[in-house]
């Protein structure tokens, strides 16, 4: 079995300092800067799914009675999106916190 290779986003080479985030894919480890890490497609997919599932449950629990009763108060305009946004931010924050790397494995 061939050893896994480490790939870097191009921004890490341009900006030596800063936070580095480590992700795994089928080819090996991928190190990304913050800007690229927040746009990491697998992490975004997981965060969106968490947002859809948790946001829907929260909306059903907190606003379900009003929505099913047809009582659409103006506060729903900001409450419902927040119930989807919060799980997205929490899931993304957790994923980024768990993927922080010191870049110690870099061989350049
Ligand atoms: Zn980058």
17-76 pLDDT, tens digit each: 578 899 988 888 888 988 899 999 999 999 999 999 999 999 999 999 988 898 888 999
The answer to the question of residue 49 being in a domain is yes
Cα 35-39-45 angle, rounded to 5 deg: 155
C-alpha 10 to ligand 1 mean position (Å)? 6
What is the domain extent for residue 28?
A: 5-101
The answer to the question of residue 77 being in a domain is yes
Residue 4 has what pLDDT? Answer: 63
Total domain count for the chain? 1
The answer to the question of residue 25 being in a domain is yes
The answer to the question of residue 106 being in a domain is no
The answer to the question of residue 108 being in a domain is no
* pLDDT, tens only, 69-101: 988 889 999 999 999 999 999 999 999 999 998
C-alpha 20 to ligand 1 mean position (Å)? 9
C-alpha 74 to ligand 1 mean position (Å)? 40
The reported pTM is 0.80
C-alpha 101 to ligand 1 mean position (Å)? 14
C-alpha 36 to ligand 1 mean position (Å)? 4
The answer to the question of residue 107 being in a domain is no
More confident residue, 6 or 24: 24
Task: Give the confidence band of 14 by pLDDT, cuts at 50, 70, 90.
Answer: low
The answer to the question of residue 71 being in a domain is yes
The answer to the question of residue 95 being in a domain is yes
């Amino acid at each position: 079995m061939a050893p896994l290779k480490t790939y870097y986003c191009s921004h890490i080479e341009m900006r030596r300092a800063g936070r580095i985030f480590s992700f795994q894919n089928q080819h090996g480890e991928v190190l990304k800067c913050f800007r690229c890490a927040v746009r990491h497609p697998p992490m975004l997919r997981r965060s969106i799914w968490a947002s859809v599932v948790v946001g829907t449950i929260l909306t059903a629990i907190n606003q379900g009675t009003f929505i099913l009763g047809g009582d659409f108060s103006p506060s729903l305009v900001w409450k419902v999106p927040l119930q989807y946004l919060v799980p997205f931010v929490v899931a993304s924050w957790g994923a980024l916190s768990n993927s922080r790397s010191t870049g110690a494995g870099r061989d350049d």
